[in-house]
Structure 1
Amino acid sequence: MTGFSIVTINWNNLEGLKTTYESVVAQTYRNFRWIVVDGASSDGSQEWLAGLDEPRAEIASERDKGIYDAMNKGLRKAVETPGYTLFLNSGDAFADPQVLERIVAAIEAAAVPPRFIYGDFYRKAANGSLTRIAAKPIERLPLGLPASHQTMYFENERLREMHFRENYRLSADYCMLIEFLTGMDRSTAVLQLPFPLCVFDTTGISHKRRFEALKEDMQIRMRFLQLPWVNAVTLYCLHYVHTHTKQLKAALGK
């Protein structure tokens, strides 16, 4: 029976944490662990977590060195059991209560058990509106993440060999995915699902500091994809213009 480790990191985001919790416990498929890594929050999150009566919750609250330090703590706990790990941070949610159930059905229907699973997602704006975003083919990985990391399920046997490189403060998830897939036959190891898996809260740090993240993406492409610097810089410039244009349109309400 396929198991899931759902890692949620949180720091002073109690309302977002509650949203994530409600989404997790609503899942119709019940073979999962909910691993919460709270960064010693001071907004009531610790007290709320301490009062939870949820047998699937495994909670730790202590100071950390940042987002990816916290995610690494969750990763190390998650891979103690077989199955798949999802990083669903506070404020993020499953797209609907049947997500895990549908993923299990897709795994069982696959000719070969996939090592990596991902799919579409909803982007949630500050005003609460949702926009469906289609995942990109995995062949476009050199251009960036094929979807939000909240849609990505990593097979734990392989994930035990991985960690988030904390020197990349905004794009360590992109780097880890590249390393995770290195050497795999992606035609059988990767399963892309054609339905929404999560609601991605866009108020997170990497979204707010998008231009800084673009620089890290460029460095990652050169180091881990061995992309020539001319190609990497060109991609950076294209992403920069695209991001600036999108933010300008949003500011103008277009």
Structure 2
Amino acid sequence: MMRLSIITICYNNSEGLERTIRSIESQTCKDFEYIVVDGASQDQSVEVIHAHESCISKWISEPDTGIYNAMNKGVKMASGEYCLFINSGDELYKPTTVEEIYRQSFDEDFVQGVIYRFNKKDIFLFPPQEISLAFYIYGNNNYHQASLIKRKMLLERPYDEKYRIASDLKFNVESLIIHNCSYGTLDVVISKYEIGGISETPHRIESPEIYKELFPQRILNDYKRMKFCFRFPIKYIFPFLEKVGNLSILKKIESNKRSKMTYHSKE
């Protein structure tokens, strides 16, 4: 079985699609499958596909109902062990990226590498070494542009197409938290993407409904409390908490901190 299927979805973004395909085409290692799913674009996207058809394993251009419908189509067309979504406008980081991925040893269900984000502020985003519910509640998510996901998982639990922005969040939480699938990281910069577009739309627009669907009420209650604590530094809510509970232990900790600060200041 082929190790990797790279999938690109596109809709009316011929310029971004051109950049994406060129980054795939330039790979020094050609041992992967490349699939393009176009949503019946009205611009020059199909012409771009035809121009680079020699490096594309499979492609379609037909109407879809949104990005997750297109991503699910790509998964069904794929035959690799892992799927990697490099959508129009995204690029593999450099020509040796696939080669560097294959040098790594991994067999986890979900593997995440490093991503390079550029535009207003250039930054490398590293994958978390461990995944917990708090990671998502804090507002984080896994970047699909740097995530290798076993195709069998994506077939068993396709992206929920009723969500238009955060279905990948639902898939990630359901897979990594609820079903406890195996997770690993790669010391490889897999892709780069420019700030803007659907990737920058806050998942919090749909995340409350997703968590409501996935978790019982007791966990949802904790989710609301944790969101509050994460959003506001704890020192600002101490005065409020003093009115509703016993903070003797916390006061003792703060007192110890102050005494240590006083001691060092005398030195």
Q: TM-score normalized by structure 1?
A: 0.79
Shift in alpha-carbon separation, 1:103–1:13, aligned structure 2, 3 A: same
Shift in alpha-carbon separation, 1:120–1:141, aligned structure 2, 3 A: farther
Q: What residue in structure 1 maps to residue 147 of structure 2?
A: 152
Distance 1:25 1:239 in 2: 43
Name which of structure 1's ranges 98-107 and 39-48 shifts more when overlaid on structure 2: 98-107
Shift in alpha-carbon separation, 1:41–1:82, aligned structure 2, 3 A: closer
State which of 113, 131, 141 in structure 2 corresponds to 1:139: 131
Distance 1:45 1:56 in 2: 14
Which amino acid in 2 is paired with 1:201? E
Distance 1:239 1:183 in 2: 25
| Contact 1:142–1:225 (CA under 8 A) maintained in structure 2 | no
State which of 185, 202, 205 in structure 2 corresponds to 1:192: 185
Q: Give the SS at the match of 1:41.
A: coil
Q: What residue in structure 1 maps to residue 244 of structure 2?
A: none
Distance 1:76 1:86 in 2: 13
| Alignment partner of 1:114 is 2:108 | yes
Q: What residue in structure 1 maps to residue 67 of structure 2?
A: 67
Q: What residue in structure 1 maps to residue 8 of structure 2?
A: 8
| Contact 2:17–2:48 (CA under 8 A) maintained in structure 1 | no
Q: What residue in structure 1 maps to residue 161 of structure 2?
A: 166
Shift in alpha-carbon separation, 1:141–1:195, aligned structure 2, 3 A: farther
| Contact 2:18–2:48 (CA under 8 A) maintained in structure 1 | no
Q: Give the SS at the match of 1:71.
A: helix
Q: What residue in structure 2 maps to residue 246 of structure 1?
A: none
Name which of structure 1's ranges 224-233 and 12-21 shifts more when overlaid on structure 2: 224-233
- Report sequence identity in percent: 30
| Alignment partner of 1:221 is 2:211 | yes
Q: TM-score normalized by structure 2?
A: 0.76
Q: Give the SS at the match of 1:174.
A: helix
Which amino acid in 2 is paired with 1:154? I
Q: Quote the offset at 1:7 in angstroms.
A: 0.9
Which amino acid in 2 is paired with 1:50? H
Which amino acid in 1 is paired with 2:117? R
Q: What residue in structure 2 maps to residue 95 of structure 1?
A: 93
Larger radius of gyration: 2
| Contact 1:3–1:84 (CA under 8 A) maintained in structure 2 | yes
Q: Quote the offset at 1:61 in angstroms.
A: 0.5
Q: How does 1:67-86 map to 2 (within 5 A)?
A: 67-78=67-78, 81-86=79-84
Q: Quote the offset at 1:176 in angstroms.
A: 1.2
For structure 2, the residue ranges without an aligned partner over 5 or more in a row are 234-267
Q: Give the SS at the match of 2:152.
A: helix
Kindly report structure 1 stretches of 4+ aligned residues shifted beyond 6 Å.
238-242
| Contact 1:116–1:154 (CA under 8 A) maintained in structure 2 | yes
Which amino acid in 2 is paired with 1:72? N
Question: Over the residues paired in the alignment, what is the CA RMSD in angstroms?
Answer: 2.5
| Contact 1:121–1:147 (CA under 8 A) maintained in structure 2 | no
For structure 1, the residue ranges without an aligned partner over 5 or more in a row are 243-254
Q: What residue in structure 2 maps to residue 123 of structure 1?
A: 117
Q: Give the SS at the match of 2:149.
A: strand
Q: Quote the offset at 1:118 in angstroms.
A: 0.4
Distance 2:198 2:115 in 1: 18
| Contact 1:95–1:199 (CA under 8 A) maintained in structure 2 | yes
Which amino acid in 2 is paired with 1:3? R
